[in-house]
Structure 1
Amino acid sequence: MSATTKIAVHSLSGNHIRLYLPISNLCANPIPDLKNTTDDALPNYLTSLKFRQSHTQTDIRLFLGYSAVAIAGTLFYFDWKQGWDATKAYTAPAVIAYFIINGIFSYWIWAVEKGVVFAGEGKTGKIRICSSSKKHIPIYELTVTFTPPSSVEQTLHIRTPFTRWFTSDGYFVAKPFQQWLASEVPIVGAADPGNVVEEIGRGSEAEKVLNATGTNVADVLGQLKKAGGKAGDSGRRRKG
């Protein structure tokens, strides 16, 4: 395994992050770096498994953001060129339009996207993943909504320490992250059975499944873990 991405973390130990910093830097919080690095790795992994990422929500967010900027920029340009007397009749409507669009933009980010890091579809089904973490708590949390072929939509809430895939000196290692995701999420494991590890998932937070009508997620995970074990030693690791 290779670890090529490094973040500014002085020490990761167990389930806690220990920061060996001067007293003046005690408020430093490495959690956003841990989360952002992991968020970037997630779509890269899924697209490598032939999941096609949907950019619809991102396109809408960009459209709203650029529209607000265009209104502000246009108003400034004409005010600069024509003067206040020529543009004052348009200023109030432009300002109102700017704040309306900016309000929709903020609502879209916080209420619609809700921390989405990946939304797409592959041969094993549709998937939408939202990530979150709490300040100074090095736990990576995912809400995964997925729909296997010919089945109903299901939701998983899974969480694990960042130390599962970050080394003690802050390097991100892709393999354990991929194993965790493939072992916990059925349609990811179905797309990448070689990374399904039997030890991962037993007794974990992934046991809580919402809307699990129809397909039994526990049974699916069990089958995938057996398939992963047959794929070779590369897909299995021993407990420490």
Structure 2
Amino acid sequence: MSKPINVYSTPDLRQTLDEALPSAFERLGYAQSFKLIDTKLIIGYSIALVAGISFLLDKKLKFEESLLYQKILVALYALLSGMFWYFNKYVEKGVKYNGSSADKAISVVTKMEKYSYDYQVTINDSKGRSTTSKLLANTVFNEAGYLQSDKLFKWLEERLDALVKKAN
């Protein structure tokens, strides 16, 4: 069982539900994919590497000697930062879970408005179909603030069944 949370705190509700997605989908037969996270890490580490190289050049060379290199590094830093922003804004777009089973792949986008208990879940499959549903957070948490994983599992299972029925 998880630790109790304050069920009146929207950030706590969202974080706990987002963290519970991988284990729930694993029970449904999905293996998590980390492609988006890995790409984000590669871009982020590249930005840090460029900044580190710039720092070392600044320490080892005189200003005039390093000026051309610094201009190149600043341009590269700006390019990588732009890529990072674009990736977060348009590629990742709030995806909290990517997974695949033997026959299909899904991505799950979640959203929770401030001061709301509606956990909006959009499940997209590899064939372009999607289903959007709202989960009232108080239906999967008990009075003490513990997440009831079985209820969340059943709710997600129903959403996946609805997605399959859309296909037929």
- Check whether TM > 0.5: yes
Distance 2:76 2:116 in 1: 40
Would the aligned equivalents of 2:24 and 2:152 in 1 still touch at CA under 8 Å? no
What aligned pairs does 1:150-229 form with structure 2 within 5 A after superposition? 152-186=127-161, 212=166, 215-216=167-168
1:38 corresponds to 2:36: no
The answer to whether 1:61 aligns with 2:40 is: yes
Task: Give the match for residue 102 of structure 1.
Answer: 81
* Max Rg structure: 1
RMSD: 2.2
* Per-residue CA distance 1:90-134 (angstroms, 9 max, x = gap): 112211211111111011112111111111211352211111111
SS of residue matched to 2:46: helix
Amino acid at match of 1:185: L
Alignment of 1:14-163 (within 5 A): 17=8, 30-123=9-102, 125-147=104-126, 152-163=127-138
**Is the alpha carbon distance of 1:76 and 1:171 closer, same or farther for their aligned partners in structure 2, counting shifts above 3 Å?**
same
Q: Secondary structure at the match of 1:35?
A: helix
Question: Where is the helix percentage greater, Structure 1 or Structure 2?
Answer: 2
Paired residue type of 2:32:
Q
4+ aligned runs moved over 4 Å, structure 1: none
Report the AA paired with residue 76 of structure 2: A
Change (3 A) 1:165 1:91: same
The CA deviation at 1:75 is 0.4
The alignment covers a number of residue pairs equal to: 168
Task: Using the TM superposition, give the Cα deviation of residue 74 of structure 1 relative to its aligned residue in structure 2, in angstroms.
Answer: 1.0
Note the alpha carbon deviations across 1:154-174, whole angstroms, 9 max, x for none: 210111111111223322221
Decide which moves more: 50-59 or 38-47. Answer: 50-59
**What one-letter code is carried by the residue in structure 2 that aligns with 1:128?**
S
Q: CA deviation at 1:139?
A: 1.1
The CA distance in 2 between the partners of 1:4 and 1:126, in whole Å, is 28
Stretches of structure 1 lacking an aligned partner (at least 5 in a row): 18-29, 191-208, 217-240
Deviations 1:126-148 (A, max 9, x none): 2111111111112101111125x
In the alignment, the residues of structure 2 paired with residue 92 and residue 170 of structure 1 have an alpha-carbon distance, to the nearest angstrom, of 53
Equivalent of residue 4 in structure 1, options 2, 5, 8? 2
Deviation, structure 1 residue 187: 8.0
Distance 1:160 1:49, change over 3 A: closer
Report sequence identity in percent: 26
When normalised by structure 1's length, the TM-score is 0.64
